[in-house]
Structure 1
Amino acid sequence: MAPKKLQFRTTLQLPAGEAPVVDLGKMLGQTGVNLVEVKRTYDAATAAQRGDIVPVVVSVFDDRSFELAYKTPPTAFLIRKALGGKGSSRPGHETAGVLSQAQVTEIATRKLPDLNTSDLDAAVRTIAGTARSMGVKVE
C-alpha cells in the first residue's frame, strides 16, 4: 500500500477538553475531514488539562484521515495563569506582577519538550525573557 500523502497541515490553539466545532470548521472545513471525530479525539486527549489552551498540529491526509500532534500551552498563557491576571499594557513602564524563581522553573519544566533546548537553565532564561517582555518582574 502506498503511503498517505499529506494534504493539509495547520496549528490550532484550542481550549483543552472542549474544542469548539466552529473553530475547527473554519480551519478544517475545506479539507473534508470528519470534524466531530477530530473534536472527539482532541477532547479525549486533553481532558486532563481543562482550563488550559493546548495547541495541536492537525495533519489531514488525502484519504481524509487525520493525525493530531499535541504541544504544550503557550508560554504567555502559562505566565498569565501563574500571575492570575494578564500582562502589562505598557511593558517596561508598568509592572503587571511578580513571578518567583520557583514559578519560572515550573513553567520552564512544563515547556521544555517544545523549546529548542534540553538545558533547564537555558529554558528558565527563555521563560524569564518572555515574562519581562510581558511586563512581569522575575525575582
Structure 2
Amino acid sequence: MAPKKKIASIIKLQIQAGQATPAPPVGPALGAAGVNMMEFVKAYNDATADQRGNIIPVEITVYEDRSFTFITKTPPAAELIKKAAGLQKGSSTPHTDKVGKITQA
C-alpha cells in the first residue's frame, strides 16, 4: 500500500457550477496554497458542467506536494429555495417583508 500523502490545507469555497475562473475568490484561495489554478478550474468545470446555474460548495484538499483532490457538495438550501421561488435575492428585512412563497406540490 502506498504511503498516505500529508495534507497541507483544506479550502472550502462556493462557486458557480461549470463557471469557475482563476479570478477571485478562487485564485487567491488556491494561489496561497500553491495549487495550479488552471488545473483545478478545468477539473471543477468538467465535474459540475451538468449542474450549470447552481452554486456548488466544494472542499479542496491540498497536499504537501501541491497536488489536490476535491469533493463537490449539494447546493445550499437557501439557493434552492430562491430558485424555486423565482427570486434573485432574499428579503432585505427578514421576518417582516415576505418576497416569495413556495408550496409542497
Structure 2 length normalisation: TM-score?
0.90
Give the gaps of 5 or more residues in structure 2: none
The residue aligned with 1:7 is 8
The residue aligned with 1:65 is 67
The residue aligned with 1:32 is 34
SS at 1:95 equivalent: coil
Matched, 1:87 2:90: yes
User: What's the % identity of the aligned pairs?
Assistant: 46
Structure 1 length normalisation: TM-score?
0.69
Match for 1:46 among 31, 34, 48?
48
Shift of 1:33: 1.4
Number of positions where the alignment pairs a residue of Structure 1 with one of Structure 2: 102
The residue aligned with 1:124 is none
| Segments of 4+ moved more than 3 angstroms | none
Root mean square deviation of aligned Cα: 1.1
The residue aligned with 1:111 is none
Give the gaps of 5 or more residues in structure 1: 103-139
SS at 1:60 equivalent: strand
The residue aligned with 2:103 is 100
| Alpha-carbon distance in structure 1 between the residues aligned to 2:74 and 2:58 | 9
Task: Give CA-to-partner distance per residue, 1:23-50, whole Å, 9 cap, x none.
Answer: 2211010222111110011000000011
Which structure shows the bigger proportion of residues in helix conformation?
Answer: 1
